[in-house]
Homo-oligomer: A and B are copies of this chain.
Amino acid sequence: MTIQNAINKLENILGDRLSTRFSIRQQHGTNETYFPEILPDAVAFVNSTEEVSNIAFICNEEECPIVAWGTGTSLEGNALAHRGGISINMMNMNKILKVNPEDMDVIVQPGVTREELNSFIKDKGLFFPVDPGANASLGGMAATRASGTTAVRYGTMRENVLGLEVVLANGNIFKTGGRSKKSAAGYDLTKLIVGSEGTLGLITQLTLKLQGIPESISAAICSFPTVNDAVQTVIQTIQMGIPIARMELVDSQTIMACNEYFKENMLVSPHLFLEFHGSENSVKEQSETVSEIATNFSGSNFEWSSKPEQRNKLWKNRHNAFYAVKAKFPGHKAIATDACVPISELANLIDQTAKDIYESGIPGPIWGHVGDGNFHATLLIKEGDLKEKKIAQAIIHRMCERSLELGGTVTGEHGIGMGKLNFMEKEHGYAWDIMTTIKKTLDPNSILNPGKVIRSN
């Protein structure tokens, strides 16, 4: 029962699609945040559910860890082979199997990225709304319960996955959910797997809900004297039931970085980036109402656009904020943070976090999906500077503590991975034991992404 035995057996079935080359392992050992490089012992490039099932069967016998790999864009080390073993690269399982335009759903393999899906279905007048920023794989997005800029209107992966095909630790394959819009037939295993970060099973197929491309889309940006004014605008918009499609906060520091990066000239103050979807009249009405609300909270410098190119130009700063910020701090590592609270506590949490970051001396621009009560501070620490890394970790720690005190969660959308494991006990109490019990029942040898999400043994 060793990892090496598993590798030998897997070579027999995968041939040169099983690689132990250092460069390949290294590609599957990187992460977009501050964790050290962690290399799997081998990487399997799979083509089918049956291969994933065979790998699981063999690795279960050999007690060899397996973890799925998509685009590698997760932010909490979610896909790192923390205890070695096999990284299963799912990106060759990239077929769009069936689009059902009448029912507005689609069946895809996990390696399809959200942009690939959206290109494919565009001419059918449909789109898949979940947008975490990165062009992530849909399997990875489901595994981490991703969301992003449009969740305020269309929900997260939780609301947009109708069904799954899953490979269990022992290699057995099962299907969850289906194509009907609702069902009361037994336990909702789909929702159990979505967000389980590959610790309960490997996602090999997804049925996703689609949306009709709106008749009209309009975008706007607007500046505020304080973050609190911007957040109050968001709260009132939500309370009035305005079906706004995107509502993003960007703070002064980020605006400054964007101004430099894109040679823009935006007022250096907190901004809201807005997007409205609907019929022409409805979009017009939504826009008018929200700009009235914003004006009441001292919002100004409105810029509007309904043409695609102009809209993209307007949103460019938000979409590329991460790169603008990184460019402003060369030689720095960017650490994404993630907290989500009831919206009434959002201004308070952002305020305290901003103050904390300011006092630390580390740059930490803030932006977020404020319509959901969710935001991120991006902490920039000098590469290799262990002292700054510690300071950043302490900021994250306090941010999570505050989020929990305010009735929130330590992660709105990035997941637990390796980064938030220490907060599971505090956030969930005894419910974490229940999660651990379920994990142990479905994966008794703990081969599925061990060391993540649940209490480690």
Contact = CB atoms under 8 A, between A and B. Distances in A.
Contacts of A151: 182
Contact of A243 (B104, B187, B243, B427): B243
A87 interface: no
A374 B430 CA distance: 37
Interface string A235-257: 10011110100000000000000
Interface stretch (A4-12, A112-120, A142-150, A359-367): A142-150
Interface string A428-441: 11111111011001
Nearest to A369: B182
Interface in A294-347: 338, 340-344
A415 B184 contact: yes
A104 B432 contact: no
Nearest to A400: B185
Interface in A356-400: 372-374
A178 interface: yes
Number of copies: 2
Interface in A227-281: 235, 238-241, 243, 278-279, 281
A282 interface: yes
A126 B21 CA distance: 60
Nearest to A236: B102
Contact of A341 (B180, B243, B430, B434): B180
B431 A441 contact: no
A24 interface: no
A121 B438 CA distance: 37
Contacts of A168: 434
B241 A416 contact: no
11 contacts: A100-B344, A145-B184, A147-B184, A156-B182, A179-B407, A181-B343, A184-B414, A185-B410, A185-B420, A185-B427, A279-B289
Interface of A: 100, 102-105, 144-147, 151, 155-156, 158-159, 168, 172-176, 178-189, 191-192, 194-196, 200, 211-212, 214, 235, 238-241, 243, 278-279, 281-282, 285, 289, 338, 340-344, 372-374, 407-416, 420, 423-424, 427-435, 437-438, 441-442, 453-454
